[in-house]
Amino acid sequence: MQEKERMLKVEVRFPRVEVNYDLPFEEAVAAGGYDEIGEFITEGRFSTQRNGIQVVEMLVLLFKCHYDLLKLGRLREETAEMNCHLAELRDLLAFGARRFDLRKTFMNPGFIENGIVAHGFEWVSNFLGNVPALEHEDKKRILRTVPSMFGIPTGRETRFLVVRNFSQ
């Protein structure tokens, strides 16, 4: 039996990131020091069932192909095989608060359309899905929603933030 080809590649690992799921939402957003925050980034649209403080490993996974070749089920399956789950907005906020300089790593202007996406929860409005993303434009750090189609953000290259709990 032939082994299926992996659609995702681990690009960068961040081994110890603290996520405080109980931190008030406004404080979690403020900790990132964003230059712009999209109007749709709200606690009501991207709530979480997690609570407490957890120290986790975060990974940025690159999907380098057209969006329609990867369905959300395949993405979830591959991340589960890695003992990970797709990051939620609270995970992305904790990641952003660390202020990793991602531009030096892989965020070249005009090269990445959607930055890093947290696809653990999708907010649907007018039949269109939206997911939170951390982006850089020029020298600005931006937290906003990006549209998704078929469960995957619509871009040629998409980077997903995933989380691995140390208890796993």
Distances (CA, A) of 90 to 3, 42, 125: 34, 11, 20
Of 140, 92, 138, which Cα lies nearest the Cα of 117?
92
Q: What are phi and psi of 103, to 5 degrees?
A: -60, -35
Res. 1 pLDDT band, cuts 50 70 90: very low
Cα 101 to chain centroid distance, Å, stands at 16
Tell me the C-alpha distance between 69 and 82, whole Å. 20
Could you tell me the residue ranges of all domains in the chain? 9-165
pLDDT at position 98 is 85
Computed over every residue of the chain, the mean pLDDT equals 77
Measured from the Cβ of residue 22, the count of other Cβ atoms closer than 10 Å reads 11
pLDDT over 90, % of the chain: 21
Residue type, 3: E
pLDDT at position 58 is 93
CB 146 within 8 A of CB 66: no
| Alpha helix (H) residue ranges in the chain | 25-30, 72-81, 89-97, 102-105
The residue assigned the tokens 């998704």 is 148
pLDDT at position 111 is 39
pLDDT at position 62 is 78
pLDDT at position 29 is 93
pLDDT at position 54 is 93
pLDDT at position 167 is 56
**Mean pLDDT across the stretch 93-111?**
64
pLDDT at position 10 is 81
pLDDT at 109 over 50: no
Give the predicted TM-score (pTM) of the model.
0.82
